[in-house]
Amino acid sequence: MQACQLQEQGDLDVIQVREAEVPTPGKGQVLIKTEYAGVNFIDTYQRGGIYKLPMPWTLGNECAGEVVALGEGVDPTSVGFNVGDKVAAYTAGGSFAQYTLATTKQTIKLPSGVSTKDAATLILQGLTALTFVREAHEVKKGQWILVQAAAGGLGRLLCQLCSHIGAKVIGTTSTEEKAQLAKEAGAEHVILYGEGRDVVGEVYKLTGGEGIERGVHAVFDGVGKDTFDMDFDLLRRKGTLVTLGNASGPVPPFAPLKLGPKNLKVCRPVLNQYVYTAEEFHSYATELFEIVKQGHLKLAVHGEYPLTTEGIKQSQIDITGRKTSGKLLIKVA
């Protein structure tokens, strides 16, 4: 099969789509003929080396396609799918390939009416958004929530879910064009950030309040290094900072004493630990598909890229180049 298998971490040139062995599913595993794989910012960390990985490593952390084989002992009745079914999977690597190996506990049969393209658009970022607004900070009706990079793939889903819950959403982004997209996704207010912009002042005007009562109840921040310090000012007393990514670089170490003046909480969640068991994955994924079916979550695809060396490289150039909004997909079959 063709697969985007890295031999080493490094700059874009380590990306090579090459001939590779079709993997064999073992205990607790399923082999999927990949139709679409989702592109995520994490692919760039895994390629570049922010996250250290054993080599060789096949890129790609989610896919949707058709089940072609089940591992030894996998009971179709208990896992809920069989050979021939269309499924979506959240994987630890391996999905930028014609065949993807996934664990049965993080694979789900697609409900009727959900295409493999929709499922690949949704599964990783959708589960991230849903689990984070429940478990990293439980978003409640009436709360002020700030989403950094609100026009991005995850950002747009977070805005939609928070606004569906009834929170008052403030988004930040870099351009007017992206601001419009964040508004369409449910951000009531969008503030442009960057050099010379007073994001904190604008947020205080919106939320009102005095002293440490000014600001938002929670910040969801995938930008990382560039916005981390600002997040502490954006939050009101007892607020929660959910630092969830490194788009501008990893957040540097900080002193816990920094939390004291407003009794803030900081958490740094990773999706996998919220959908770790089959029960967690299936219950969140089922709810996610239902939310989409009810029309509360609209999917936006920025573009499709082929499973070629150039295609994968281009997807990483685009996502790191801040040119995208919405989801990037690798069209495999």
Member of 5, 29, 34, 40 binding ligand NDP (CB under 6 A): 40
Alpha-carbon span 18 to 30, nearest angstrom: 22
At position 98, the amino acid (one-letter code) is: Q
The count of residues interacting with ligand NDP (CB under 6 A) is: 29
Q: Which of 271, 288, 292, 297 binds ligand NDP (CB under 6 A)?
A: 271
Which of residues 128, 314, 315, 316 is near ligand NDP by CB under 6 A? 128
CB of 148 to ligand NDP, least distance (A): 8
Is residue 139 near ligand NDP by the rule CB under 6 A?
A: no
DSSP H or E stretch at residue 18: strand 17-19
By beta-carbon proximity to ligand NDP, the closer residue of 83 and 270 is: 270
Find the binder of ligand NDP among 3, 37, 41, 199 (CB under 6 A).
Answer: 41
- Residue whose token pair is 């994968």: 312
Out of 93, 152, 215, 239, the only residue in the binding site for ligand NDP (CB under 6 A) is: 152
- Scan residues 177-196 and list those touching ligand NDP (CB under 6 A): 178
Residue 330 within binding range of ligand NDP, rule CB under 6 A? no
Cβ atoms 251, 225 nearer than 8 A: yes
> Could you say which residues in the range 108-127 bind ligand NDP, by CB under 6 A?
125
The DSSP string of 59-78 is --SEEEEEEEEE-TT--HHH
Angstrom CA distances, 330 to 29, 91, 106, 139, stand at: 23, 15, 20, 32
Span of 65-73, 210-218, 269-277, 288-296 interacting with ligand NDP by CB under 6 A: 269-277
Q: State CA 59 to chain mean position distance.
A: 15
Q: Give the residue carrying structure tokens 């250290």.
A: 52
Backbone dihedral angles phi then psi of residue 60, each to the nearest 5 degrees: 105, 125
- Tell me the residue type at 195: E
Residues in touch with ligand NDP (CB under 6 A) = 40-42, 125, 128, 149, 151-155, 173-174, 178, 222-223, 226, 244-248, 269-271, 319-320, 322, 324
